[in-house]
Structure formats: structure tokens, C-alpha cells
Amino acid sequence: MAVYPGTFDPVTNGHISLIERASGLFDKVIVAVVENSQKKNFFDIDKRVELMNTSIDDLNNKNIEVTRFDGLLAAYAEKIGACAIVRGLRAISDFEYEFQMALMNRKIAREVETVFLMPALSWVYLSSSLVKELARNGGDISGLVPESVNQAFAKRPS
């Protein structure tokens, strides 16, 4: 079992690509949405979880489950018996932060390995921050995020 953690504010097609890949590698993938991130989120925790649930519905993979967590990720992974934490790597710029986090997580939970996966090439440039910036400025995000996320932005004042 692996944990795929994130803020998912909002979930993008890049995240979905990662979840799909991880679900082919592990018997079970727990998509863990962080409750209190340091970031000021656009969508609250309930909405982020709801959007993740509707987004993974399309994958039709029975080995994917969405949960929420608070506190330390590595402790959470250990508590639920996950052998791995999955993180996405898009570009070299992601590496330093991810490297530090992976080593810190290993210090907290020695048995839990961090596994890095790359999204499909078409999503390498994509991030939740860019999606929010695009939406805020009236850009079309429909090809970048699951349909439920697109609709959630359409309903909300920016």
C-alpha cells in the first residue's frame, strides 16, 4: 500500500496521471489530502476531498481510496501501514524540496520509502498554482483539470 499525499488545491490532470500510475504499481493507493497546509487554500478541506473523489471516479480503479490527514505525513503513513509515499517530480526545480522532505520523512518513519513518479509529459508544466492563476484571470482551465474542478471554479467568485 502507498500513500499519495498533497494539498490538491485543486487536483489537476497531472495529479490524476500520477494516481493512475501509482495504482498500477501498488496493490492499494491512499490519496491523502492534507487538512491544514501552510498555504492559504482556495478550496477548503471538504471541497478538496470531494473534488478528488469525483475526479478519481473516472479512473474506475478499485484500489484507490481518498482520505484526509493532519499532522506528520510519515507518522500517518506508518500508522496506516503504508510501505511507500508517492510524490510527483515534474522538473529539476521540484527536486530540492522533495529531496529534503523525503529524507526528513525517512528520519521520522525509517521503514517508509519515498517513491518519485513522473506525470505524463503533457502535464509536466502543470501545477495547482498555475491553474488558480489562470482561473483568476479568466483563462480556460478545462483541458487542465478534471471536469468537476472546472465546474467548481466556474461556480466560485475569484
Q: Which residues bind ligand PNS (CB under 6 A)?
A: 5-7, 34, 37, 72-74, 101, 104-105
- Least distance in angstroms from the C-beta of 104 to ligand PNS: 5
Closest by Cα among 44, 109, 45 to 76:
109
48 is catalytic: no
- Least distance in angstroms from the C-beta of 85 to ligand PNS: 8
- Least distance in angstroms from the C-beta of 69 to ligand PNS: 8
Q: Is the dihedral of CA 141, 145, 147, 148 positive or negative?
A: negative
Cβ-based nearer residue to ligand PNS, 152 or 154: 152
Determine the Cα–Cα distance for residues 33 and 35; give it in Å rounded to an integer: 6
Burial 43-75 (b: 16+ CB within 10 A, else e): bebebbbbbbbbbbeeeeeeebebeebeeebbe
Catalytic position from the list 68, 90, 106, 127: 90
Which residues pair with residue 7 across a beta bridge?
Answer: none
Cβ-based nearer residue to ligand PNS, 36 or 154: 36
- Least distance in angstroms from the C-beta of 74 to ligand PNS: 6
Catalytic position from the list 17, 23, 55, 128: 128
Burial of 28 (0-12, 13-18, 19+ CB in 10 A): middle
39 is catalytic: yes
15 is catalytic: yes
Question: Which residues are tagged catalytic?
Answer: 15, 39, 90, 128
